[in-house]
């Protein structure tokens, strides 16, 4: 059965990630982090292995760490005889991992880009003024209406991550996010949970960051991907290098349409999705989106071997 790889974004990081997957001195892990550290000018492996968590969780450090961890996992998969998937896609930051794995962007170039992306996102809004929250148990349109109600007096709050049925993340100015959370509860939301981030990712408040990233990307060389790449920003496949460049700019201030993307992949014949990177956030979402889909995660040595066996059977 056809299978695809999905790559997680910011929020799946943790100190010690990859420790259960393979030894640090195994070539795909070691070489990937040496390459990333050379670009960054600091020991990225030491940061993810030892912390501190506060630094790892800063957007500027999280984004290179997640990209390196996902690419290292991919390279380990290939070194163990894992075949290439029919399609790749990523959640938010994970789209950079997907584009690298698809062969459209050099890893070292991508590391520098996501460090810049994280810095631009942090600088786009004053510290503490932005917020994100997860709304659970409401239809998508009800969350959108709650945001519209909260924004009537001015300010920004928007639905930005359509993660699974009944789970939508909102983002914007802190006060408006808090008002939208209350509006969602009035509409019957089971829970409205503030997320421990201050960068309102994928909202229109990221427009200045997207513009800065676009200026940086203008000089970056992209290739035609050898693996089909589908974006969660527009639920479409992209192969033209110019389109990929524009997509990575646009997605920074556009919603992540994960539910639609997973359903589209399943409808197109993908029977298994394998999460390539730390954690299993996407695998849990995928199971809620499409119950007939096999969802696997490469989180440790055992699950890596199980996934290899599943696709080679």
What is the pTM assigned to this prediction? 0.96
| Measured CA distances, 261 to 54, 96, 265, 273, 283 (Å) | 32, 16, 6, 12, 14
State the Cα–Cα distance between residues 90 and 99, nearest whole angstrom.
Answer: 9
Domain of 158? Answer: 130-198
How would you label 249-261 residue by residue, b for 16+ Cβ within 10 Å and e otherwise? bebbbbbbbbbeb
Please give the structure tokens belonging to residue 29: 């892990």
Nearest to 110 by CA among 211, 245, 253: 245
Tokens of 116: 């810049």
Q: What is the count of structural domains for the chain?
A: 2
- Domain CATH code at residue 174: 3.30.70.250
> CA 197, CA 154: separation in Å to the nearest integer?
22
- State which of 198, 215, 246 marks the end of a domain: 198
Residue 223 and residue 117 share a domain: yes
Pair (33, 113) in one structural domain: yes
Let me know: does 231 contact 95? Beta carbons within 8 Å.
yes
171 plus 251 within the same structural domain? no
What is the DSSP track for 6-54? Answer: EE--TT---TTTTTTTS-TTSHHHHHHHHHHHHHHTS-HHHHHHH--HH
Query: Within this chain, do residues 103 and 220 fall inside the same structural domain, yes or no?
Result: yes
pLDDT level of residue 306 (50, 70, 90 thresholds):
very high
Chain position carrying tokens 């170039």: 109
Least Cα distance to 179 among 161, 142, 141, 153 occurs for: 153
User: Are 8 and 92 in a shared domain?
Assistant: yes
Structure tokens at 241: 């290098």
Whether residues 110 and 209 share a domain: the answer is yes
List, for residues 173-212, the tens digit of each pLDDT value: 999 999 999 999 999 999 999 988 879 999 999 999 999 9
Q: Are residues 269 and 163 in the same domain?
A: no
With 80 as the cut, is the pLDDT of residue 1 above it? no
- pLDDT 10s digits, 47-96: 999 999 999 988 899 999 999 999 999 999 999 999 999 999 999 999 99
Residues 84 and 215 placed together within one structural domain of the fold: yes
17 and 142 co-located in one domain? no
What is the sign, positive or negative, of the torsion defined by CA atoms of 30, 31, 33, 38?
positive
* Domain at 254, CATH number: 3.40.366.10
Residue 313 pLDDT: 75
Question: Are 237 and 105 members of one domain?
Answer: yes
Boundary-marking domain end, from 198, 221, 256 = 198
37 and 180 assigned to the same domain: no
Domain end among 175, 198, 221: 198
Catalytic site residues? 92, 202
- Do 94 and 134 lie in one domain? The reply is no
């Amino acid at each position: 059965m056809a299978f695809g790889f999905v790559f997680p974004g910011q929020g799946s990081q943790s100190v010690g990630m990859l420790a259960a997957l393979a030894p640090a001195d195994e070539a795909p892990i070691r070489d990937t982090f040496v390459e990333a550290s050379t670009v960054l000018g600091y020991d990225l492996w030491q940061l993810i292995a030892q912390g501190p968590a506060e630094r790892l969780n800063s957007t500027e450090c999280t984004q290179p760490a997640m990209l390196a961890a996902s690419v290292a996992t991919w390279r380990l998969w290939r070194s163990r005889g894992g075949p290439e998937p029919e399609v790749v896609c990523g959640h938010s930051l994970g789209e950079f991992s997907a584009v690298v794995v698809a062969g459209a962007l050099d890893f070292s170039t991508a590391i520098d880009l996501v460090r810049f992306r994280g810095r631009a996102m942090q600088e786009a809004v004053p510290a503490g003024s932005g917020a994100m929250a997860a709304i659970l148990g409401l239809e998508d349109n009800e969350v959108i209406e709650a945001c519209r109600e909260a924004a009537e007096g001015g300010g920004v709050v928007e639905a930005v991550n359509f993660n699974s049925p009944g789970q939508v993340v909102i983002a914007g100015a802190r006060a408006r996010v808090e008002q939208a959370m209350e509006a969602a509860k009035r509409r019957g939301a089971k829970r409205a949970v503030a997320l421990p981030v201050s960068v309102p990712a994928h909202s229109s408040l990221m427009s200045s960051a997207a513009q800065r990233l676009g200026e940086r990307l203008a000089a970056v060389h992209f290739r035609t991907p050898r693996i089909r790449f589908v974006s969660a920003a527009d639920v479409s496949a992209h192969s033209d290098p110019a389109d990929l460049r524009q997509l990575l700019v646009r997605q920074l201030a556009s919603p992540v349409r994960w539910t639609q993307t997973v359903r589209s992949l399943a409808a197109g014949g993908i029977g298994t999705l394998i999460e390539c990177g730390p954690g299993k956030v996407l695998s849990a979402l995928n199971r809620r989106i499409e119950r007939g889909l096999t969802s696997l995660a490469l989180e440790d040595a055992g699950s890596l071997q199980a996934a290899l066996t599943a696709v080679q059977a």
